[in-house]
Amino acid sequence: MTTTSEQVSEQSTRQVSKRVSQSVFDGSHLRVVLLVDVHDGAQQQFLEAYEQLGKQVAAVPGHISDQLCQSIENPSQWLITSEWESAPPFLAWVNSEEHVRMVKPLHSCVRDTRSLRFHIVRETGNGAPSAGRRLQVSPRIGDGVIRHALTFTVKPGSEPEVARILADYASPEAQVDETTRLLRTSLFMHGNRVVRAIEVRGDLLAALRHVAQQPEVRAVEEAINPYLEQHRDLNDQESARVFFTRAALPAVHHVTADEAAEGERHALHYQARPGSGMRLAELLAQGDVAAAEDAGGPILRSTIYQRDDDVVRLIDVRAGQRPDLDPPAALADLLTGSAVRMELITDRRSPGA
């Protein structure tokens, strides 16, 4: 029998789903699909590395099960699927230093990987879904845009020069392929922290690879290398991979109140107390969903990015309006200090975006 609270939750989810195009906070079970291309002749090495990794992953909170599959057509192609109680515990693990260490043995035998994450919406089979399994209540309505960000720090004292370099570059070609296009890049700084947010229509991985290969972008990345606090060598595949893995700042929630209206873009950085980043991101997301329900309110769009204890809130505000962007006092216990408003260094839209 469905309780009143469950009915309210379901109704709320259905209402929010009309606006929210991305969210990890609905509590439904998560299916992760990892496509792996293994070097020829390295299949046994890959299998042994996976078996060791599997033992470690089994102890991660929120993990339910894993399957490893090998293609019947191409022995170099493998598929790893895993199921998690919900998205937050998976993201907390996959974005951790522990994960970086766990997967290191796989790198020498893997040519390429692609990770896909899905909430489970429906199930069929010989019987009802397993007891306690939570399914996504209804489809979310998206806008076809994938949002992602990077964050990293530069050496103190180098901020003015880094800002100059990052603001002064030629935009790369927007069209990646027939289905993928770069839409917008927004870059912010506060102190020695840099946040670069990108919006893509199509394939995010293809877009990131396309951007990395552009001479104008490569020149900028090489120019800031001496100022980075975390060393990287873009000519060393492993060094570059580790840097961008640690810099990744995934979008965990997005809500749009008005798709057509243009606004002013703001970014706020929140430093959560150890272990509180995901909870802080969830509460900020709830507040922005409530704000989006006000049709004449100042917030047009909001995206929450989170990795470990770093949370970034990117907000488009109606022109001429100055809302209070500070977090509610109720969130103070989750923060190490006040939220900081970041300085906009550059905000570029691709033609036709």
Bigger pLDDT: 163 vs 130? 163
Residues 100 and 154 in one domain: no
Evaluate whether residue 13 is within a structural domain: no
Residues 115 and 205 in one domain: no
Lowest-confidence range among 16-20, 29-33, 88-92, 204-208? Answer: 16-20
> What confidence tens digit (pLDDT) does each residue in 37-57 have?
999 999 999 999 999 888 889
Q: DSSP 3-state helix, strand, coil percentages of the chain (rounded to 5)?
A: 35, 35, 35
Decide: 28 and 136 in contact? Cβ < 8 Å.
Answer: yes
Whole-Å CA distances, 88 to 28, 79, 196, 198, 315: 10, 22, 23, 22, 22
**Nearest CA to 88 among 27, 159, 145, 160?**
27
Evaluate whether residue 138 is within a structural domain: no
Residues 203 and 296 in one domain: yes
The pTM assigned to this predicted structure is 0.87
Residues 69 and 152 in one domain: no
Residues 109 and 217 in one domain: no
Evaluate whether residue 202 is within a structural domain: yes
Evaluate whether residue 281 is within a structural domain: yes
Residues 199 and 50 in one domain: no
Residues 108 and 157 in one domain: no
User: How many independent structural domains does the chain possess?
Assistant: 2
pLDDT in the model for residue 3:
40
Computed over every residue of the chain, the mean pLDDT equals: 87
Decide: 283 and 256 in contact? Cβ < 8 Å.
Answer: no
Evaluate whether residue 91 is within a structural domain: yes
Residue 316 sits in a domain of what CATH number?
3.30.70.100
Distance of CA 8 to the CA centre of its chain: 29
Around Cβ 213, how many Cβ atoms within 10 Å? 10
Which of 101, 119, 137 terminates a domain? The answer is: 119
Residues 208 and 298 in one domain: yes
Residues 238 and 274 in one domain: yes
> What confidence tens digit (pLDDT) does each residue in 232-250 have?
988 888 888 888 888 999 9
Structure tokens given for 172: 């790369």
Structure tokens given for 236: 């060393």
Residues 322 and 258 in one domain: yes
Evaluate whether residue 128 is within a structural domain: no
Interstrand relation of 20-23 and 248-256 (parallel, antiparallel or unpaired): antiparallel
Residue 18 CA to residue 220 CA, distance in Å, equals 39
Query: What does the angle CA 320 – CA 316 – CA 138 come to, to the nearest 5 degrees?
Result: 135
CA dihedral of 279, 280, 285, 290, whole degrees rounded to 10: 100
Evaluate whether residue 27 is within a structural domain: yes
Residue 152 CA to residue 267 CA, distance in Å, equals 15
Portion of the chain with pLDDT greater than 90, in percent:
57
Residues 222 and 274 in one domain: yes
65: containing domain:
22-119
Residue 272 CA to residue 56 CA, distance in Å, equals 27
Q: Which residue has the tokens 């909001």?
A: 302
Evaluate whether residue 80 is within a structural domain: yes
Around Cβ 233, how many Cβ atoms within 10 Å? 11
Residues 258 and 323 in one domain: yes
